[in-house]
Structure 1
Amino acid sequence: MVTPYRHEPFTDFTNQRNVEEFKAAISKVESELGKEYPLIINGERVTTNEKIISTNPSNKEEIIGVVSKANKDIAEKAISVAHGVFRKWRNVNPEERANILIRAAAIVRRRKHEFSAWLVKEAGKPWKEADADTAEAIDFLEYYARQMIELKDGKAVLSREGEHNRYFYTPIGVTVTISPWNFAFAIMAGTTVAPIVTGNTVLLKPASTTPVVAAKFVEVLEEAGLPNGVVNFIPGSGAEVGDYIVEHPKTSVITFTGSRDVGVSIYEKAGVVQHGQQHLKRVIVEMGGKDTVVVDKEADLELAAEAIVISAFGFSGQKCSAGSRAVVHQEVYDEVLQRVEKLTNKLTLGDPVIQEHYMGPVIDQKAFDKIMSYIEIGKKEGRLIAGGNGNSSKGFFIEPTVFADVAPNASIMQEEIFGPVVAFSKAQNFEEAIEIANNTEYGLTGAVISNNRAHIEQAKRDFHVGNLYFNRNCTGAIVGYHPFGGFKLSGTDSKAGGPDYLPLYMQAKTISEMY
């Protein structure tokens, strides 16, 4: 009997004991900074001359770790290993595969603050954001384990007299997991263990800005009893290693989370049938968003302001679900804007090692430059209400920034900035607000703040996003509660953390036997 799935609770940082334990975890991590991490192929540690240097975005002189960098030759070896191991792993009892995930979840739970501390240092996450990231990683492990046990015998189909029919799922093959830096633990873990538990083998290529957290997780999987070669850890260049493994004829599934441009390129490359390839590749991509908080005239305006601020500035806006657009009914526009300005000016910015800092840095110099360029564009397209400044002298810090009176088709209302910037646009009525909310190429998340039941029902039908929230912020999907994935150019609507996700890593097989 499988125990029921329960969401991993967030840490209560009003409890002083938890605060002290988290500080101790940060100290432990700081004592381990600068270590070297090898590639892992078939359980073997492989060290290369070329390295990826992971640095602290709050203090760019501080080295988090030095990670060996894979090349095409090493990638080819990893593919060969994964292809060979797949023949055995696919036949392992699904319950045993699930048990490995449960054991890994238990290990991470015991080291929860430690993993969160790595996220504080390597990804620049404030305490609460890091804690939520680690909790989500545990959730993915627990949830997918239980989902696999539910799916292991397939689904019921009809049989006729003298005939017995079965419908069940079978693994596909070698999976390429290309994970992002913004949820360096949760999404990396989820997109690694989903193919594992369904009987596939994995080539894990984590984001080059956050490879140490991924290396730590692969060690957890080994400790949990995962056989050698089921996961092969090969961080490396996207142009060299990423493209090579996506296009390789022996890889069967590609799962990617990241930018729209890279996701579209991967989708295109994976669609080409290579010489010797006898299958079409399964592609699972999540490519970002330009997400809107709609505020109706019949709304709790304080709730609306809080939802906008949380959606826009949690983890410095570096979430595909971040609410970077606020579309507000003209009758309450000025009041909501004033409330948001007041809340934004209270936010604290600094090194997330310090608990009191609500916002930390953006991830690196490239991100800093891109976001600051959009802020300059915003000064021309709208009216600067709050923030607007950045400082990259030590770390990559940008103030939470609010622009008002922005046209719906302006650049900062259309393009994904991936930083702490929110643009306000005014709607004459609720119908126009929904039209504006739908006017981008993305369709990931959205929120509607309204006490008008008819408008809520209208938004359910007409607001075209994969995850729609009412009277709350548009970020913070919880595994098993809010299956996550978007429409349009936000991706393949794969619904991570939901009941339909694991079958994406398997093929359905029908068997019919006559008596």
Structure 2
Amino acid sequence: MLKGFFNIPEPKNEPVFDYAPGSAERAKLQEAIREARAMEVDIPMYIGSEEVRTGNKLPLSPPHDHQHILGYFHEGDKSHVEQAINAALGAKEAWETMEWEQRAAIFLKAADLIAGPYRYKMNAATMLGQSKNAYQAEIDSACEIVDFLKFNVKYMTEIYSQQPPISGNGVWNRTEQRPLEGFVFALTPFNFTAIAGNLPTAPAMMGNTVVWKPAYTQIYAAQVLMEVFKEAGVPDGVINLIYVDGPATGEVVFNHPDFAGIHFTGSTAVFQTIWKTIGENITKYKSYPRIVGETGGKDFMIAHKSAHAKQFATGLVRGAFEFQGQKCSAASRAYIPSNLWEDVKKYMVEDLASIKMGGTEDFGNFVNAVIDEKAFDRITKYIDNAKADGLEVIAGGNYDKSKGYFVEPTVLLTKDPMYTTMCEEIFGPVLTIYVYEENNFEATLELVDQTSPYALTGAIFSQDRYAAQLATQKLRNAAGNFYINDKCTGAVVGQQPFGGARASGTNDKAGAMINMLRWVSPRTIKETFVTPTDYRYPFLGED
């Protein structure tokens, strides 16, 4: 067996291809999309060494073309959850005792497979299955997942290298980082393929075995991720991919004595229910489970009176409407000083008038469809209610689901800073604006902080450094990721670790060492070289 202190390849952020007309990457991606649309895939669950096909086949369709069938996946039931847990527990001993550099090699290979031969297949699957345009898919299903894998390997080595600085005479102190005792449950969302890849691989990298349940609306790309993991050499049973109804899955997972932790991204309501269930079942578990979750957001952007109107307008258009506002970090409420409002409105209306909406296959479309009919109905109800309540529609406000689930980028203007769409998470292309008196900046900061229960992302635009400093201080608990003179989306692994607090989650920062530490349990070892043979201490001696 090889022994040594190994240096890993130094991670660098994966370059983002721009897919400009005439570029080689554009042609390759277009071909991958054509190939994907020309076939119907049959997607099994992956449990241990088996590809499980139940015969209960559910269709997968592009949100922007819901009559087209991309393929079918085989839905499972509670018995398959049990099977996946057993497979994870069965694979655990061999996996957790594998040398760390062997685990690192597997995931570094997975990263290079995605960056190279799988790049266009992965992006095409995300574009078709989740209705992301080429650029949004590239930064997600190519670059971010590659970054997660490579940087997490670096964080893993840093964690393992952390040792007690002092041992003392005749003593050697050391620390080992053990995987959690049991299995980890990864529950992943529809909106980011990178998150769907990171949530099961981060615990697995630290020696844990995982049961992974993706959102049904992300299964098309999840299948490609699993294909990559298997080619990279992830052993059978280490990551088990199942498609089972959420409550049925939870009933099995959260009642199992070997449940060791959950890695979650999704809604606040679901996460709070999970937390409550774990608490009620706490006496059933061998250990206190690790609960790691990133949930909702009601993300804000505020401009000071010194801000550049065009910069702020551009930040709002990008921050609110990229990927149809279906990002946890998307701007959904904005606070604009009265001296800038007319200019910001003009620039936004001009930009939105030039935006095209349609399928992802046409690279000229900036806006695509929302994820499914349920989301469409929820989002459009907010729009209809706002119209009925007399809010001014600055732009958009229309929608159509006859071919795909299309909702126009919609900008609402409210005179009530506590109106529903300023407070509740919509998770769609709806931005609500409140115009404040330009000299009431500090009071408006208080309003921003108190309006929403969430605290995920936020941004201040200001050319006045005192104002930027004040906002940074006043809003220190209002956002886990805070931006100065930039939109409130676009966190990059290794640069801006992502996560928020309050109702937005546990703030365990995906893309940072903090997150990786959650998947290990340290053991301190003290070894004494010359062991005492007399119980008496010197102080017991006579004067």
Query: Shorter-chain TM-score category?
Result: over 0.9
- Which of 430, 435, 457 does residue 441 from structure 2 map onto? 430
- The residue identity in structure 2 corresponding to 1:20 is A
- The residue identity in structure 2 corresponding to 1:181 is F
Q: 1:212 Cα deviation (Å)?
A: 1.9
Q: 1:49 Cα deviation (Å)?
A: 2.7
Indicate the residue corresponding to 1:28 in structure 2. 35
State whether residues 189 and 215 of structure 2, in contact with CA within 8 Å, keep that contact through their aligned partners in structure 1: yes
Rounded to whole Å, the distance in 2 between the matches of 1:52 and 1:149 is 41
SS of residue paired to 1:497: coil
Rounded to whole Å, the distance in 2 between the matches of 1:381 and 1:281 is 48
Rounded to whole Å, the distance in 1 between the matches of 2:94 and 2:27 is 46
Rounded to whole Å, the distance in 1 between the matches of 2:428 and 2:223 is 26
Indicate the residue corresponding to 2:421 in structure 1. 412
State whether residues 171 and 505 of structure 1, in contact with CA within 8 Å, keep that contact through their aligned partners in structure 2: yes
- Which of 9, 12, 15 does residue 15 from structure 2 map onto? 9
TM-score by length of 2: 0.92
Indicate the residue corresponding to 2:536 in structure 1. none
SS of residue paired to 2:417: coil
- Which of 49, 54, 59 does residue 53 from structure 1 map onto? 59
Q: 1:322 to 1:269 in 2, by over 3 A?
A: same
Q: 1:243 Cα deviation (Å)?
A: 3.8
State whether residues 442 and 489 of structure 1, in contact with CA within 8 Å, keep that contact through their aligned partners in structure 2: yes
- Bigger shift: 74-83 or 163-172? 163-172
Rounded to whole Å, the distance in 1 between the matches of 2:278 and 2:325 is 30
Deviations along 1:483-513, one digit per CA (max 9) or x if unpaired, are: 0000100000010011211001111222222
Deviations along 1:231-275, one digit per CA (max 9) or x if unpaired, are: 111111101123422342222110111111111111111223356
Indicate the residue corresponding to 2:458 in structure 1. 446
SS of residue paired to 1:409: coil
1:254 paired with 2:254, answer: no
Q: 1:207 to 1:305 in 2, by over 3 A?
A: same
1:190 paired with 2:198, answer: yes
State whether residues 156 and 513 of structure 2, in contact with CA within 8 Å, keep that contact through their aligned partners in structure 1: no
Indicate the residue corresponding to 1:269 in structure 2. 277
| Identity across matched positions, percent | 34
- Which of 18, 25, 28 does residue 18 from structure 1 map onto? 25
Rounded to whole Å, the distance in 2 between the matches of 1:217 and 1:393 is 31
- Which of 303, 308, 316 does residue 316 from structure 2 map onto? 308
SS of residue paired to 1:177: strand
Structure 2: gaps spanning 5 or more residues: 1-6, 530-543
Indicate the residue corresponding to 2:4 in structure 1. none
Indicate the residue corresponding to 2:98 in structure 1. 92
TM-score by length of 1: 0.97
Rounded to whole Å, the distance in 2 between the matches of 1:15 and 1:6 is 27
Indicate the residue corresponding to 2:505 in structure 1. 491
State whether residues 292 and 325 of structure 1, in contact with CA within 8 Å, keep that contact through their aligned partners in structure 2: yes
SS of residue paired to 2:172: strand
Q: 1:175 Cα deviation (Å)?
A: 0.8
Within 5 Å, give how 1:69-148 maps onto structure 2.
69-110=75-116, 111-134=118-141, 135-148=143-156
- Which of 37, 46, 63 does residue 69 from structure 2 map onto? 63
- The residue identity in structure 2 corresponding to 1:449 is F
Within 5 Å, give how 1:362-377 maps onto structure 2.
362-377=370-385
Q: 1:14 Cα deviation (Å)?
A: 2.1
Give 1 or 2 for the bigger CA radius of gyration. Answer: 2
Deviations along 1:424-475, one digit per CA (max 9) or x if unpaired, are: 0122322123222212000000011111111212222221210001111101
State whether residues 305 and 340 of structure 1, in contact with CA within 8 Å, keep that contact through their aligned partners in structure 2: yes
- The residue identity in structure 1 corresponding to 2:262 is I
State whether residues 259 and 285 of structure 2, in contact with CA within 8 Å, keep that contact through their aligned partners in structure 1: no
1:389 paired with 2:398, answer: yes
SS of residue paired to 1:102: helix
Rounded to whole Å, the distance in 1 between the matches of 2:255 and 2:390 is 41
Q: 1:248 to 1:125 in 2, by over 3 A?
A: same
- The residue identity in structure 2 corresponding to 1:460 is T
Rounded to whole Å, the distance in 2 between the matches of 1:426 and 1:377 is 20
Q: 1:371 Cα deviation (Å)?
A: 0.4
Rounded to whole Å, the distance in 1 between the matches of 2:102 and 2:444 is 50
CA RMSD of aligned residues (A): 1.4
Rounded to whole Å, the distance in 1 between the matches of 2:360 and 2:187 is 26
Deviations along 1:395-441, one digit per CA (max 9) or x if unpaired, are: 00010000113422110000000110000012232212322221200
SS of residue paired to 1:501: helix
State whether residues 157 and 167 of structure 1, in contact with CA within 8 Å, keep that contact through their aligned partners in structure 2: no
- The residue identity in structure 2 corresponding to 1:420 is P
Rounded to whole Å, the distance in 2 between the matches of 1:246 and 1:276 is 9
Rounded to whole Å, the distance in 2 between the matches of 1:114 and 1:342 is 35
Rounded to whole Å, the distance in 2 between the matches of 1:372 and 1:37 is 32
Q: 1:381 to 1:99 in 2, by over 3 A?
A: farther
State whether residues 313 and 347 of structure 2, in contact with CA within 8 Å, keep that contact through their aligned partners in structure 1: yes
- The residue identity in structure 1 corresponding to 2:447 is I
- The residue identity in structure 1 corresponding to 2:129 is E
Indicate the residue corresponding to 2:469 in structure 1. 457
- Bigger shift: 138-147 or 388-397? 138-147
Q: 1:276 Cα deviation (Å)?
A: 4.6
How many aligned residue pairs are there? Answer: 513
Q: 1:128 Cα deviation (Å)?
A: 0.7
Rounded to whole Å, the distance in 2 between the matches of 1:479 and 1:222 is 24
Within 5 Å, give how 1:324-339 maps onto structure 2.
324-339=332-347
Rounded to whole Å, the distance in 2 between the matches of 1:381 and 1:108 is 49
Deviations along 1:307-337, one digit per CA (max 9) or x if unpaired, are: 0110100000001100001111222223222
- Bigger shift: 186-195 or 79-88? 79-88
SS of residue paired to 1:435: helix
Indicate the residue corresponding to 2:532 in structure 1. none
- The residue identity in structure 2 corresponding to 1:490 is S
State whether residues 168 and 508 of structure 1, in contact with CA within 8 Å, keep that contact through their aligned partners in structure 2: yes
Q: 1:168 to 1:330 in 2, by over 3 A?
A: farther
Rounded to whole Å, the distance in 2 between the matches of 1:187 and 1:415 is 23
Indicate the residue corresponding to 2:300 in structure 1. 292
Q: 1:381 Cα deviation (Å)?
A: 5.4
- Bigger shift: 110-119 or 196-205? 110-119
State whether residues 271 and 281 of structure 1, in contact with CA within 8 Å, keep that contact through their aligned partners in structure 2: no
Q: 1:374 Cα deviation (Å)?
A: 0.4
Q: 1:41 to 1:407 in 2, by over 3 A?
A: same
Q: 1:402 to 1:276 in 2, by over 3 A?
A: closer
Q: 1:345 Cα deviation (Å)?
A: 1.9
